[in-house]
Amino acid sequence: MEAMRLSRNDYGFVRVAAVVPRVYPASPDRNIAEMIPFVREAAEKQTHIIAFPELGITGYTCQDLFHQFDLIYAARQALIEFVNAAHGFDVISIVGLPYLVDDNLFNAAAVCHRGRILGIAVKTYIPNYNEFYELRWFAPASRLRTKELFLCEETVPIGNDLVFNAGASAPHLAFDVEICEDGWVPISPGTLHALAGSKITFNLSASNETIGKTDFRTDTLARSRSALNISGYVYVSSTSSGSDGSGESASDLVFGGHAAIAENGQLLGESERFSDKPQLLAADIDIEALMRDRMHMNSFGQCAELTMPQARYVPFQLPWLDAKYE
């Protein structure tokens, strides 16, 4: 009698990955060419969801080039090309880009799957202190008037209130996206999304290196956020300089290419910083354990009840998870 073969999906695990690719500032076509092989690799490793760094399609350090329409439109076209190129892989990809709407430029992240753009998350908090002056180029999510776009021949939701829900294919799998500074404020969008049902927060970042900042990202962001939110937390930041001239460190800031994945306070993995090679950091997050802990810790539900977080739920399906719930 043949033994029954069980996969990690049978036990409620979802495989996620943080990808630190080579980045070439102001070169959208070159950047998506660096991303696509990682989608293929993720599919081969049966990874469900992968995230790339903040503004990964253009690079973070474009500065005043962000106000050039050529770059803005090239980034949008590159997004469409990325979606088409990744069509054959059953992997959800989260990619960052500048997005122009309502006469404002937003720091955004597109959630893509099987030739579709499921939704576009928008950065809520725009830093404008110390070495950051993003308000020179980007508007906060509060200025967004539009709730839906017509993109790739279908209606696509946009905003900072999106929770992506697997629905019947995996009833308890839901995730959200926040962008860099969003995770550094006292009440982060990811926290509100967790109270609205999200189980995994993906933070697309371009965090530069300063003394002590690495520990803050792993301990205060990934570990502490995931513990307080009883969630998974996937953090991915921009690459350092490569020998071929790639990387964000061509500016006056230094980037280390830091990525980290945590689950309910436990660090599951961390990338090598200052590597001149691209990296894919993957880990399995136990969705059913998170659900059980939220049920057990009844004060989590009380907090959600009192907070009444608002969210729009965006459906998607992952066929790899279907078998368990048929």
Which is nearest to 158 in space by CA: 173, 141, 174, 175? 141
Which is nearest to 51 in space by CA: 100, 91, 86, 9? 91
CB–CB of 118/166 below 8 Å?
no
CB–CB of 202/149 below 8 Å?
no
Residue 30 CB coordination number (10 Å) = 15
Tell how far CA 101 is from the center of its chain.
21
Q: Which residues are catalytic?
A: 54, 123, 180
How would you class 17 by CB atoms within 10 Å of its CB: exposed for 0-12, middle for 13-18, buried for 19 or more? buried
- 266-270 and 259-263 as β-strands: parallel, antiparallel, unpaired? antiparallel
DSSP assignment of 162-193: EEEE-GGGSTT-EEEEEEGGGGTSSS-HHHHH
